[in-house]
Amino acid sequence: VLRIRTAHEHMQQLLSAAEQDEYDLDRTFVAFTGIQALHFNTYTAPAWESAVKSYEKSVAPVESRVASKLRSQFAALKGQPNQLMREFQRYRELVSQPHVMQELMAERDMLLGQLVSQLDSMRSEFNERVQYAGAKNTGRNLPDTVNDIVWLRQLSTKIQANLGLSTSLLRDLQR
């Protein structure tokens, strides 16, 4: 329910009022009429799955339009991997929809390439820092050991954030 509602809200944000009227975006939830989503069990599962499929079918043309709008937003951020990653994260539920995921294959591949490049630069920075340990002190009033620990924690947090996003959005891509 949350995934569908969040994706629907993102669609509303990206489409103008005229486009929402054109695609009749408010009527896409008609498939869920009479279904109580919070009373889900094995007996109501077929009705729920049928409603979800009907919803996905009715929203497919909207997803195509939204994918083209996202494509233009992502193209503007081509040389900025961190900002591009934030935009993908912002629209994560929408981009994870199968139809949108397929439409944005090139943009997701571009993000994957930028993430791999960023990871390579982090690796080379790590290797350089390990090789020249103690040569330069970048922290203020910190011993070298404490400075290295702080830097490694920051690096670890960056890598974990990239990994979390990439596994959810780029799971079907290979590099």
Q: Give the pLDDT confidence of 37-59 residue by residue, as tens digits.
A: 788 888 888 889 999 999 999 99
Neighbours of 89 (CB within 10 A): 14
**Which structure tokens are listed for 18?**
């005229």
Strand, helix or coil for residue 175: coil
Q: Give the pLDDT confidence of 112-166 residue by residue, as tens digits.
A: 888 888 889 889 988 888 887 655 656 577 787 888 888 889 989 988 888 887 7
Predicted TM-score (pTM) above 0.85: no
Q: Which of 13, 19, 18 is nearest to 65 (CA)?
A: 19
Average pLDDT over residues 68-93: 88
Most trustworthy range by pLDDT among 30-39, 63-72, 154-163? 63-72
